């Protein structure tokens, strides 16, 4: 049997890999993707990443490092989930968003646009992180909270804002 190699452009050069049976995307032989998960034709899963359950990785999305995507989670567009990050339940990461380090996105939460969630941050429930927002450190964004750096107010036009329980709050 001949090995097939693919360059994931992560600095490791071509590595043993295969096309996933459900979607045809590239999966490194060091990664784990179950047959029930979908990896679209242009999506990539590499490193020691795990994608399982009914999770979907599509578009040009990447899952790498020790990241885990599971349940009914979706990673799409040009999004990248890496490091030890986890995306699970019905969570969605899309656009150019990045979720990395030890960050978790779960429940029905969405991270999209050019948003970054990293460090030990958690985004869960029905929370939304989008635009150019960054959520990091030990931050928790939950419930119906919305974090959007692209929504300046007239009073504080250049400040970060967060939407909690129907009201926008801006950084002081």
Q: What is the pLDDT of residues 128-158, one digit of tens each?
A: 999 999 999 889 999 988 888 764 444 444 4
| pLDDT reported for residue 148 | 83
Q: Range of 19's domain? A: 5-170
What's the Rg (C-alpha) of the chain?
17
CATH number at residue 115: 2.160.10.10
| pLDDT reported for residue 168 | 57
In tens, the pLDDT along 86-108 reads 999 999 999 999 999 999 999 99
3-class SS string, 4-43: CEEECCCCCCEEEEEECCCCCCEEECCCEECCCCEECCCC
Query: The whole model's pTM is what?
Result: 0.88
Mean of the per-residue pLDDT values of the chain = 90
The span from the CA of 100 to the CA of 69, in Å, is: 12
User: Strand 146-148 and strand 161-164: pairing?
Assistant: antiparallel
pLDDT band at residue 79, thresholds of 50, 70 and 90? Answer: very high
Number of domains in the chain: 1
Q: Counting beta carbons within 10 angstroms of the beta carbon of residue 97, is it exposed (0 to 12), middle (13 to 18) or buried (19 or more)?
A: buried
**Better pLDDT: 167 or 99:** 99
């Amino acid at each position: 049997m001949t090995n097939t190699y693919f360059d994931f452009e992560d600095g490791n050069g071509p590595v043993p890999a295969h096309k996933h049976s459900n979607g045809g995307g590239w999966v490194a032989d060091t990664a784990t993707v179950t047959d029930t998960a979908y990896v679209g034709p242009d999506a990539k899963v590499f490193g020691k990443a795990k994608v399982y359950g009914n999770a979907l990785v599509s578009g040009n999305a990447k899952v790498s490092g020790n990241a885990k995507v599971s349940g009914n989670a979706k990673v799409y567009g040009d999004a990248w989930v890496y490091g030890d990050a986890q995306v699970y339940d019905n969570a969605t990461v899309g656009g150019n968003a990045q979720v990395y380090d030890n960050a978790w996105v779960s429940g029905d939460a969405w991270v999209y646009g050019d948003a970054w969630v990293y460090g030990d941050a958690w985004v869960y429930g029905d929370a939304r992180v989008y635009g150019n927002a960054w959520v990091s450190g030990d931050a928790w964004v939950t419930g119906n909270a919305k974090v959007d750096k692209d929504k300046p107010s007239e009073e504080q036009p250049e400040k970060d804002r967060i939407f909690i329980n129907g009201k926008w709050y801006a950084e002081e």
